[in-house]
Structure 1
Amino acid sequence: MIKKVLILEKRYFTIGMAGHIDHGKTSLTKALTNVDTDRLKEEKARQISIELGFAPLYEDQEIQISVIDVPGHERFIRQMIAGVAGIDLVVLVVAADEGVMPQTKEHLNILKFLGVKSGIVAISKIDRVDEEFIDLVKDDILEELTGTVFKGAPFVLVDSLSKKGINEIKELIINTLKEQEMRDAKGAFRMPIDQVFTVKGQGTVVRGTVYEGNVEEGQVLKIMPKGLEVRARQIQVHHHPAMKAFAGQRAAINISGVSKEEIERGDVLVSSEHFIVTKTVDVVIRVVEELEHLIKQRMPIKLHIGTAEVMGRIVFFDRNEIKEENGEILCQLRLEDEILTKRGDRFILRRPSPQETIGGGWVIDPRGNKYRFGNQTIEELEKKKVGTPKERIMAALMEAKSLSLTELIKRTALEETTLKKHLANQEFVLYNGKEYTLKLLIESMEEDIFDQLQEFHQTHPMKMGINKAELIQTLQKKFPKSLLDFVVENGISNGAFKRKGQFVLLTDFVPHIPKSWAKRTEGLLSDLKRDGLKVRNLNDYFTASGIPNAVAYDLKKFLEDQNLLTALDEQFAYHGDVYNEAVEKLQRGTGAEFEVGDAKEVLDLSRKYMIPFLERLDAKGLTKRVENKRIWIK
């Protein structure tokens, strides 16, 4: 039985070895770790690194450090970017007998664009040259490092064969990382996959550097952007079983539910829905200082983000080409395939042909839209770029009106704890127990509803109010239905509106007949009452009273609501008093049950009136028809 140890308070870091081909990165890694990271036959035969190599460097009770040895050859730049993208510190290896070389410069650019902030310079192979030559190499390196993260970085002289300087550089790495903050282990788990393989009897295994969060054995995860659901069957950290893997660690995870063929380098293993899958990304970029070729509007680019490599095009909004540029450029990447990303993610841009690194930057908004060319778009992107957490939350809610916590995490790229802290502010409102909106939006919506009700009451003074479902439907183009329902109910609770049955109305509103129709309505009711039970067609009364069809419908409904009129069917209606008297008379003149003939004798009505009258009694629940008889219920 293999013992699995779970350590909670530890900090985890991954460092990278970068530099030109054959400058001694792999040898230095082996000298530091006793692990030969060139494991492939081709690597042994050609004596160059082709794939990423990994090894444990150091571990004590408070810290664990892993090493990634990245290929230096220009043909393997993709692997280099994939490896460096997840590291916390870089050891830049420069051979004493060659100095700064093309790949050294390209690696420096890549490290700069990926935002690596911590570095150490290792001058390797020092036994091959004399001290004076080493001083020349130092000057060469210092000049090249001006303006990079390595400006001011410590230098260590090493020789992997004789072990000179190995202890010194190892101690420097450990002490530097002990002073450094580790990656976020509290957020949602994310691990870009850089290797996929199978183990006999175990199935599919994916490997990568944990970017953020943590994962535990048995956890249900997703392979994105493919959306494949998997389970973490087993976890290993440097070939040792572990219950959990944390941000900053190299981890191999045995997953169930998929085959090796369904996954590829560039896919991302995640634990939540917080991350966005997208093909259009708003970004801020910088370009290399010495561009060999123009960067033109909508030209093809190759995006390296995490461990993914995706083709796409670059879209500018304030220029059509770049010849040289030292500052930041706000633009957009439109990709051929989906990627998983979030705000703040770093990336590299390369030209597909001729192949070269042209720049890099970070993601402003993974949910890019199509924008117009011009300063207005640049201003909007600038606001997105510099927005505070609160501004980003407010902007997201102003746009969507209502969002769940998961959706807010996606849109703002804020860590859950930070987001919840800001959402506790009274400017934000949680409703339905799961969705957030802005207090000012609720107030604005209440004003919209108030104005709509006021206008409705003025136009239709005889109607009780607006049917709630209709009220919500009229505003659904502007606001989500769930939010509208909440605002209406909230307005009723706080007295802004009131409810009568299914109708919503203003608190102080009472349905009424407009003065302009009051006298004519009195005449209509008087005529109806005079004619008793033997009335004419209701439309005749409206016509005789001078009430137009446009008003007749609302007036009829109002009179019914006020019990001043009872409609028998589409043709006939009785005055309210006449109807009530007829019901009382029929109850007195019949027993517990009666037939149509009995009713005709009591009320002296023809079948033309009798049948609609009796059906109205049924509809109002006063009687119940059983075959040819009716039974009094009330």
Structure 2
Amino acid sequence: MIIATAGHVDHGKTTLIKALTGKNTDQLAEEQRRGLTIDLGFAWLHDTQAGSIGFVDVPGHSRFIRTMLAGLAGVDAALLVIAADEGPMPQTHEHLVLLELTGIERAIVVISAIERASPQQLSNCLKATQQLIKDTRLAGSVITLVDAISGRGMDELLASIRTLALTTPIRNPDGLPRFLIDRRFTVPGAGCVITGTLLNGRLSTKDQTSLRLAATNGEIRLRGIQIDGKPVSEIVSGQRGALNLTGAVNHTHPQRGDWLLNTDMVQSSQRLDVHLRVLPDQNVHRGTLQIIIGATAVSGRLVWLDQSAGLAQLLLDKPVHSIVGDTVILREPAANITLAGGQVLDPQGRQRGRSKPESVARLRALVGITSASDALLTELQHQAEIDLHSFAQRWNLSKTQIRKVMTHPEVLTLGDMALSKSRWAQSQQRLLQVIQIAHASQPEQLGVHQQVLLNRAIPDLSQVTGQTIIKQLINDGQLRQHGTVLALPDHQPRLPEQDQKLWPKIREAIKNAGLRPPIVGELGDQLGLQRDEMLAVMQRLQAWGYLLPVAPNRFYLPEQLGDLAAVAQALCKNSSDSGFLAAEYRDLSGIGRNLTIKVLEYLDRSGVTYYRAERRYLRPAWRDEVMPGGV
């Protein structure tokens, strides 16, 4: 386990750690000259019963609060040190507040330097300390009286530390690795070395997991691991260590505050949805704040979403990495005071609609949830569907973990998306209702175009999910399909008498022409109609769903969309990048250059293909199969 010190400057934190471990954590020359901890210090205690215990010695001076907070990131417990002859001092109070805000509730309160205090001073200190922690997370913590120089009380302190270590829950090593960096230096012959804490997962020199820094691009390779100066092959969640890195490192990164992550977990955001506790007598203003997360500090501002519930969005000046549950601290940089603290609810905060009642209700429901399974069910109550990759990133879930979360009987998985069974059933009913209304209001319609139906009935669901629901309704016999047009099985469209006579001839002429249907004027000549008269008929049939308007004077049958898509599918299948040029489509289809351009633009509008850098690519729903045709 890892224990951090906390307490006022000169209350004996560093002396205490040296007495426990034999190491002086003040390694900087300036620290030794001034007798003042400036940077983080580290030491190890190897106990035969409790195992290896790492200590993080943090500075107690008010000027180094940011450094102190970096030391608290990822620790399991704290030693709150109070000098017997002085009692609780200003930084004692602030450090206690910071322990509260960072969620550290396992601690030992150490009254130090007892031999330089009079009996009255010791009594006063003890009473003041008990009062100090009375209504905090540390209430009930063991209070130990020690003098690190004489050794008095150190055996009792060691026994308390041992008990604390043995009763602290072991961190779950599941999940992807997240290593929080607090130091970086260069070792001759080895190169870049970082130290820090592995907050999640595991890292091994045998398993060459693809790693990256959250702040940069480029792959990082792990060459070696040391714990307390000894080479090891693996480090697991909750352990401190030193990592020897190679690959995409430079003079700027890695640095304190960077994250070393599995490549699948690399994400960052400038918008964090958070749940905050504002300290008494403090006010979080709308100006620039210092926001500390992990071991880094960034400038930003706060927008309240529901102040009474402590819900807010932090707008940061630069992106940071975080996951659900990470701690954030808000400070006033000019006055050097702490204003508030809390946890991240969503590390990918929404830009649009963040203040809508449904968005705030979602965040309110997520407060206090620590289980990814519970969070998924809660999310599905407030969202139509969830992108599983994004959800896994927010919760730092491995592929095995996300599959386990998906086993809940109420959850349906559709590719990379998840939705609830109740939402699936509601969406089916809504689709059928919209088609029933369309049939009743416009009986001459062949049906409703699929894209129109999706936009009207279930606009909050993705295209892939909507198309999957439609396919299920077709397979169950609840819908009938005419290319891209959908109708109820018993629907019998009633065209006006004149159009009813013309329609079979129009359909036959277009069908026989294959992928190059006649233009409106040519079709009018075949049927004995003037061009304008023929165009009016075609536009009516288009409006009723019988024809697809690929160009103002060129129409296809709905089922021919599958044939047009099949050409694109064949080109993508035989392409090295799964894309194709317009000229390649022209050559394979044989429909000519001008019509090719119109057809491809229509396929883009219809959601079959998309255009990028002179090439076109199939959208996911059309990659594996072409929608069946047939009237």
* Common fold by TM > 0.5: yes
Which residue, out of 58, 67, 77, partners 2:46? 58
In the alignment, the residues of structure 1 paired with residue 19 and residue 523 of structure 2 have an alpha-carbon distance, to the nearest angstrom, of: 106
Tell me, what secondary structure is at the counterpart of 2:94? helix
Distance 1:357 1:516 in 2: 79
Q: 1:263 is matched with which residue?
A: 254
SS in 1 for 2:8: coil
State the alpha-carbon separation in 2 of the partners of residues 499 and 374 from structure 1.
37
**1:542: Cα distance to partner?**
6.6
Where 1:194 maps in the other structure, the secondary structure is strand
Amino acid at match of 1:287: V
Q: How does 1:19-30 map to 2 (within 5 A)?
A: 19-30=7-18
Q: How far apart are 1:225 and its partner, in Å?
A: 3.8
- Taking the aligned partners of 1:62 and 1:410, their CA distance within structure 2 comes to 34
Instruction: Check the 8 A contact 2:385/2:417 in 1, yes or no.
Output: yes
Q: Is the 8 A contact 1:224 1:340 kept in 2?
A: yes
Partner of 1:146: 134
CA contact (8 A) 2:173 2:200 kept: yes
- What SS is found at the alignment partner of 2:461? coil
Distance (Å, rounded) in 1 between the aligned partners of 2:316 and 2:278:
19
Out of 199, 206, 216, the position equivalent to 1:226 is 216
Matched with 1:428 is 411
* Range moving further from structure 2, 282-291 or 304-313: 282-291
Give the 3-state SS of the residue equivalent to 1:31 in structure 2: helix
The count of aligned residue pairs is 527
How far did 1:132 drift? 3.6
User: Which residue of 1 is the match for residue 290 of structure 2?
Assistant: 302
Query: Given that residues 393 and 412 in structure 1 are in contact (C-alpha distance below 8 angstroms), is that contact kept between their aligned partners in structure 2?
Result: no
The equivalent of 2:588 in structure 1 is none
Of 301, 311, 317, which aligns to 1:330?
311
Q: Given the alignment, which residue of 346, 350, 356 partners 2:337?
A: 356
Highest CA radius of gyration, 1 or 2?
1
Gaps of 5+ in 1: 1-12, 320-326, 526-535, 562-568, 571-634
Partner AA of 2:432 in structure 1? F
For residues 231-250 of structure 1, what are the structure 2 equivalents within 5 Å?
Answer: 231-250=221-240
Native 8 Å contact 2:272 2:348 kept in 1: yes
User: 1:177-221 CA distances to partner (integer Å, 9 max, x unpaired)?
Assistant: 211212232122112211111111212112111212211113321
C-alpha distance in structure 2 between counterparts of 1:283 and 1:28, whole Å: 36
Separation (CA, whole Å) in 2 of partners of 1:399 and 1:412: 18
SS at match of 2:196: strand
**Is the alpha carbon distance of 1:266 and 1:162 closer, same or farther for their aligned partners in structure 2, counting shifts above 3 Å?**
same
> Corresponding residue for 2:391?
408
Which residue does 2:560 correspond to in 1? none
- Code of the aligned partner of 2:341: G
Percent identical: 30
Residue 489 of structure 1 deviates from its aligned partner by: 2.4
Task: Work out whether 1:93 is the aligned partner of 2:75.
Answer: no
Quick one: structure 1 residues 73 and 296, their matched pair in 2 at CA, closer, same or farther if it must change by over 3 Å? closer
Aligned to 2:375: 392
Q: 1:442 aligns with which of 400, 405, 424?
A: 424
Matches for 1:70-109 after TM superposition, within 5 Å:
70-109=58-97
**Residue 483 (str. 1) matches residue 460 (str. 2):** no
Deviation track 1:440-459 (CA, whole Å, cap 9, x = no partner) reads 33334334443455566678
- Mapped to 2, the partners of 1:224 and 1:150 lie a distance apart of 34
- Aligned residues of 1:297 and 1:315 also touching (Cα < 8 A): no
Q: Secondary structure of 1:369's match?
A: coil
When normalised by structure 2's length, the TM-score is: 0.73
> Which aligned pairs between 1:474-513 and structure 2 lie closer than 5 A?
478-499=460-481, 502-503=483-484, 505-506=486-487, 508-509=489-490
Equivalent-residue separation in structure 2 for 1:290 and 1:76 (angstroms): 23
Which range moved further: 58-67 or 210-219?
58-67
Q: Which amino acid aligns with 1:440?
A: S
1:204 to 192, 216, 219: 192
Report which stretch shifted further, 327-336 or 256-265. 327-336
Give the aligned partner of residue 348 of structure 2. 367
Change (3 A) 1:512 1:359: closer
Question: Among 175, 178, 196, which residue is 2:163 paired with?
Answer: 175
CA RMSD of aligned residues (A): 3.9
Q: Residues 521, 353 of structure 1: CA spacing in aligned structure 2 closer, same or farther, 3 A cutoff? A: closer
The structural deviation recorded for 1:522 is 11
Conserved 8 A contact 1:497-1:507: yes
**Farther off after superposition, 115-124 or 386-395:** 386-395
1:214 aligns with 2:222: no
Counterparts of 1:490 and 1:379, CA distance in 2: 32
Paired AA for residue 491 in structure 1: L
Indicate the residue corresponding to 2:320 in structure 1: 339
What's the CA shift for 1:508? 2.2
Q: Which residue matches 1:278?
A: 269
The 3-state SS of whatever aligns with 1:65 is strand
Please tell me whether residue 158 in structure 1 is matched to residue 141 in structure 2. Answer: no
